[in-house]
Copies of this chain bind each other. A is one copy, B any other.
């Protein structure tokens, strides 16, 4: 926001993209392009696949079952992957959709669901998370669609951290932190790899909070004096990280 007027529709495809290439879309995407976006033959669309950048393509054959496109030019180079992962306790569906979309808009590199003691987590719908991330990327002209990781538990996450991701700090919202200013807490970690962790609506258990605080790679920050819902806390925490040690400066 604000977005430019009359921008072309954007479509994420799981196909290699290069100038001059001809693509045939599978049925669901063909139908979406022709019936939902109402693109006619000769109509233009921006394609991206998360790795090759963005390309302007022209509809050569408006079949609703197997639309064919010709790639005319590259419109953007692929952007560098974000340094920020987002780790979260899944919440109820409607607001989880929203949270995934918003984390994508805020430029995260990965969406990592996590079980905690107070998480009410039934089956995780990974396809739905992925679809929400793709939709947000299409709407907000983001070329790095975040990867959706398999769910883990907080204990495993902490136990494996040093081995799997030793240079990444883990920023978490701690209502009892003594360093109340996120700018002060984050300052030593300029440009570092970061994971932002938002707990469940019920909060972390006391044992979990102690576990987090005991880790040298964990950085507690305050999200302020008000109670925030988890989806709001996500955007607030990501804004604090992006504005202090990320690309929102």
Binding site for B on A (CB under 8 A): 1-5, 98, 102, 105-107, 118, 139-142, 173, 175, 180-183, 198-204, 222-230, 232-233, 235-236, 239-240, 242-243, 247-249
A140 contacts across to B, CB distance below 8 A: 226-229
Complex: how many Å from CA A226 to CA B223? Answer: 22
Residues of chain B within 8 A (CB-CB) of A226 are 105-107, 140-142
Q: How far in angstroms is the closest Cβ of chain B from A225?
A: 6
* Residues on B with beta carbons closer than 8 Å to the beta carbon of A232: 1, 102, 105-106, 235
Tell whether A1 pairs with B239 under 8 Å between CB atoms, given A224-B248, A248-B223: no
CA distance A227 to B5 in the complex (A): 13
Q: Classify the secondary structure of A's interface with B.
A: loop
The complex places the Cα of A2 from the Cα of B1 at a distance, in Å, of: 29
Alpha-carbon gap, A249 to B221, bound state (A): 10
Q: Smallest CB–CB gap between A139 and chain B, Å?
A: 7
Closest approach, in angstroms, between the C-beta of A235 and any C-beta of chain B? 4
Assess the B248–A202 pair: CB atoms within 8 A: no
Q: Are B173 and A1 within 8 A (Cβ)?
A: yes
Q: CA A110 – CA B84 in complex, angstroms?
A: 33
A243 touching B242 in the complex, CB below 8 Å, given contacts A1-B232, A229-B140: no
Contact residue among B1, B201, B240, B248 (Cβ-Cβ distance under 8 Å from A1): B201
Q: Are B223 and A3 in touch, CB under 8 angstroms?
A: no
Residues from chain B with a CB closer than 8 A to the CB of A118 are 5
The complex places the Cα of A201 from the Cα of B68 at a distance, in Å, of 31
* Interchain CB contact under 8 A, B180 and A228: no
Is there an interface contact between A224 and B240, defined as CB atoms closer than 8 Å? Answer: no
Whether A203 and B1, one on each chain, are in contact in the complex, defined by CB atoms closer than 8 angstroms, is yes
Chain B min CB distance to A223 (Å): 7
**Which listed residue (B98, B198, B203, B235) contacts A239, Cβ 8 A?**
B235
